[in-house]
């Protein structure tokens, strides 16, 4: 694992709210998908990858993610284990935020329906139960999917930028003689 800590990690770049891969933060959605498949046991760790950022190359001689060419950095046939770990950690981090937010929404809705039970008179307390079921569901979905999505997306990429740089720095100091 990478041990060197990077002081000023590069910032992910965005255009219209969408992440744009750069040489400093070469996150590849395609590679992310591939690593998830490999971890799930649905695909082997074999292919043709960029020697700089590990993005899948297909038949190309240049990388669409980091702009590296295979002349400068020869393609590799495997995804680096530590890098796969970083992609996985990013997914986990995003999932954690989404879960936390969804539970916050559910708890808020539960709290509100308890208040309704306390304050609604007589039979109208039934609305509190309806609210608990529907409100809990929608609050969970809203908080988990809508509210936190953008935040989790950016937080995940920020973490990726830092750990990718650490990985690249430690990797290069090992393999620079080759």
Structure tokens at 2: 């990478």
CB of 116 to Zn ion, least distance (A): 55
- Between CA 108 and CA 52 the distance in angstroms is 46
Q: Give the binding range for Zn ion (CB under 5 A) out of 32-40, 56-64, 114-122, 129-137.
A: 56-64
Site string for Zn ion, 32-51 (x = CB under 5 A): ------------------x-
Q: Give the binding range for Zn ion (CB under 5 A) out of 54-62, 73-81, 116-124, 152-160.
A: 54-62
CB of 131 to Zn ion, least distance (A): 51
What residues from 65 to 94 belong to the interface with Zn ion (CB under 5 A)?
A: 65-66, 68
Q: Which of 34, 53, 106, 161 binds Zn ion (CB under 5 A)?
A: 53
Q: Is 52 in the site for Zn ion (CB under 5 A)?
A: yes
- Between CA 69 and CA 85 the distance in angstroms is 25
CB of 38 to Zn ion, least distance (A): 18
Q: Which of 2, 25, 31, 63 binds Zn ion (CB under 5 A)?
A: 63
Q: Is 98 in the site for Zn ion (CB under 5 A)?
A: no
Which residues would be at the binding site for Zn ion (CB under 5 A)?
A: 50, 52-53, 55, 63, 65-66, 68
């Amino acid at each position: 694992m990478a041990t060197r800590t990077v002081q000023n990690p590069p910032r992910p770049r965005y255009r219209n709210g969408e992440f744009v891969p750069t040489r400093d933060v070469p996150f590849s959605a395609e590679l992310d998908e591939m690593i998830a498949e490999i971890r799930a046991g649905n695909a082997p760790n074999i292919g043709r990858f960029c020697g700089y950022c590990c993005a899948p190359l297909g038949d190309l001689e240049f990388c669409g993610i980091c702009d590296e060419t295979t002349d400068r950095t020869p393609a590799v046939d495997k995804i680096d284990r530590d890098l796969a770990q970083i992609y996985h950690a990013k997914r986990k981090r995003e999932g954690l935020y989404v879960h936390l937010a969804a539970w916050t929404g559910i708890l808020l809705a539960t709290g509100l329906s308890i208040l309704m039970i306390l304050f609604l008179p007589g039979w109208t307390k039934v609305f509190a139960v309806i609210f608990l079921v529907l409100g809990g569901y929608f609050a969970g979905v809203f908080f988990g999917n809508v509210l936190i999505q953008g935040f989790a997306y950016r937080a995940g990429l920020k973490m990726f930028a830092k750990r990718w740089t650490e990985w690249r720095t430690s990797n290069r100091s090992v393999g620079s003689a080759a």
